[in-house]
Structure 1
Amino acid sequence: MIKNTYRKNRLVLVVIFFLSIRSVSSSTDKELRLYTKTDLSEINLQIYDGDDFKFLYPPNAVLEITGDKIVILGPGDIQNKNINSYTFYIKTYDNPGNLSAKQWATQKNIEQWQLAIEKGMPVGGIPVNDGKLMEEKTSIAKISGEKAFRIHYYAFDSHRIAFYIDKNQKLYELSYTGYPIENSYTAPYKIDVYSFILNSFLFK
């Protein structure tokens, strides 16, 4: 009972926080907290209900939808209205070769690494070394009951976290970028925002 009350109050604080406080940085990737449907139903969250999936998001966030790409944007910060307090990406790709999430993500990152080298660009922001995906940066997770291939690595000054799911000859990529908690006092709240978006994500 105490634990459930804490979770409910913490989630309420999260929404209140983003309605009143503005911040530039994003969160680090800590353990994602689980919330029940009861916790979520007590807050005026918005719902995206698409053809393939649906999810909940904070009432003050804005959705930008371009083709098969959805970007969830938190409110702007006080000093610079053009910088969002958090950003969460959901991208859908065709997967006619029916590649597994791991195969698809590996291929994508290696191609990005090769392209960066060809253009003489920095490759520190890509989890590839000597043409091979860094396996130590990967793990397996679950999103909406589906197995997800997860990549988490530190690049330059931030954490990059992405989940890849293969389903019905499509590939879904859910991702966000976070900064160390030392650089952002709001990081724990942003972790909660990312957490309940991921935990509310549901395939149809």
Structure 2
Amino acid sequence: MPTLETLFVTKLYRAEIEAPDGFALELEQACRSLAEDDAAGIRWCAKHDYPGYTSYASLNDLPWRFPVFKALAKQLDRHVQVFAKDLAFDLSGKKLTLDSLWVNVLPEGGFHAAHIHPHSVISGTYYVTMPKGAAALKLEDPRHAMMMAAPPRKKSAPRELQAFVSVEPQPGTVLLWESFLRHEVPVNRAEDERISISFNYNWG
């Protein structure tokens, strides 16, 4: 009898972060404050035609500036440790450490083009606000460049065989994936802003 194995699995980690009362509101207020006051970030977004606001190119010390970001980072450390264990990483006694963390405020009509996170091991996003109609996270099969002349998948194909998978997080959701996984945020159809916090972890 023939056998069938699933090899070279790409994993996506999802969890809901448990936070004390007021945490979500404080985090949202901090993100909105940055979007209004971070002059360097605002200039970078304007120069690069970036829709909305991101602190990606302007601030790299948010956990130091805001206690609420420091509290979030501690939560993320715990989840990344769990994910790394599930991925069977041999860390040789070293830890995966938070390398960068930045805010994204995406208005109606805004989007993030498909990309990966080079020079990182694990990347992810924590969702602060996800108004009705907000764009989901769209993940791409990392083998696309090597599909050669393969035909398209059937629309009825199982989720693990789809070429693209959309994940709809809720406020408080954290998603983690290996940094090679290409992903994007399609056009935001919500009238309100979609606010998230993305981050990278490195090894050693």
Q: TM-score, normalised by structure 2?
A: 0.30
Where is the strand percentage greater, Structure 1 or Structure 2? 1
Q: TM-score, normalised by structure 1?
A: 0.30
